[in-house]
Amino acid sequence: MDDKKIIFSGTQPSGNLTLGNYLGAIKNWVELQKDYHCIYAMMDLHTITVRQTPADVRRRTLEVLALYIACGIDPDESIMFVQSHNPAHAELAWVLNCYTYMGELQRMTQFKDKSARHSDNINAGLFTYPVLMAADILLYQADYVPVGKDQMQHIEICRDIAQRFNAIYGDVFKIPEGLLSKSGAKIMSLQEPMKKMSKSDENPKAYISMMDDMNTIAKKIKSAVTDSEGVIEYREGDEAKAGINNLLSIMSAVSGRSIEAVASEYSGKGYGDFKADVAQAVVECIRPIRAEYDRLINDKAYLMDICKKGAESAGKISERTLKKVYKKVGFLV
């Protein structure tokens, strides 16, 4: 093995991926392939913390894989696999559950949000979700975990669990670091810009799905909520400016220019023109991805083959960590 560092990340196939998933995570993953050993998974075990339609999870798992590839993840470069195809994730999660405190899990904002939204199903899996996520990362001795801002708290608890375990048993786990993308780390809802853009939002106008057709994408951007001030300016933390801040971040992320450069180009211009340009830039960014996705999704055999090979490669790496952990805690191996 060379001395390239290791990257691990993943997405839940719990809905159509959004522009937020792309700009906050996947776009960054593509760039990281050049310099790192990258492992990207479809996190199906996590999806069942909320009730799902089984056929949808199955279908979406392959859709997410096709989208990863269409976005530029190269199956010859990076390992891609389905989380449930490697049993080591569930196995390590059990061990780590015994090294994680109820109090730490109770502080997780995602748990608080999701249990408020699904008050009829506050299950133990929803509560221990971050432990499974820690297992995902630690199994591969990942150095970096490229995610959106909403997942940073989960990376923190992963680090805490790993450090606690290492303090007892020696250097078993690499302590991973979260990696945020420069401008798309938190893409907000187009309708309620104080909320994150989410694939599970009930209002489809609030998010751009990577599966939307080009007209719908443009329409959604053009009807994004802004303000009545009429000034294009980035003001971090100013609630009134949340809509414009978001469109500036989106424009910056899709164009690769800084937020300041975009804001100064549009300073003094009207919201209508600005939105039309953002809409066009987003459409041009998604169009080639969609074309490639549409081609790939029909080749189920090819996608299944990647899953199979990916699970084998992932299994070989994770086996080493799991064995070490089992030995350390006293299991007969």
d(CA 205, CA 193): 12
- The answer to whether 323 is a known catalytic residue is no
Looking at beta carbons only, is 142 or 262 nearer to ligand TYM?
A: 142
Closest distance between ligand TYM and the C-beta of residue 137, in Å?
Answer: 5
- The answer to whether 199 is a known catalytic residue is yes
d(CA 312, CA 322): 15
CA 314 to chain centre: 19
Backbone phi, psi, residue 288, to 5°: -65, -30
Burial 141-165 (b: 16+ CB within 10 A, else e): bbbbbbbbebbebbbebbbbbbebb
Closest distance between ligand TYM and the C-beta of residue 275, in Å?
Answer: 19
DSSP structural state of residue 192? S
Tell me if 64 sits within 8 A of 11, measured CB to CB. yes
Site for ligand TYM, rule CB under 6 A? 8-12, 20-21, 24-25, 43, 46, 133, 136-137, 145, 147-148, 150-151, 184-187, 196-197
Closest distance between ligand TYM and the C-beta of residue 161, in Å?
Answer: 13
Looking at beta carbons only, is 150 or 160 nearer to ligand TYM?
A: 150
Ranges of beta strands (E only) in 140-269 are 144-146, 177-179
Closest distance between ligand TYM and the C-beta of residue 187, in Å?
Answer: 4
- The answer to whether 114 is a known catalytic residue is yes
Looking at beta carbons only, is 182 or 269 nearer to ligand TYM?
A: 182
Catalytic-role residue among 27, 186, 199, 220: 199
Catalytic-role residue among 27, 174, 182, 196: 196
Catalytic-role residue among 27, 114, 220, 241: 114
Q: Which residue is nearest to ligand TYM (CB)?
A: 24
Looking at beta carbons only, is 21 or 209 nearer to ligand TYM?
A: 21
Tell me if 138 sits within 8 A of 162, measured CB to CB. yes
Closest distance between ligand TYM and the C-beta of residue 246, in Å?
Answer: 10
Looking at beta carbons only, is 206 or 325 nearer to ligand TYM?
A: 206
Question: Nearest CA to 23 among 137, 136, 150?
Answer: 150
Instruction: Give the catalytic positions in this structure.
Output: 114, 196, 199
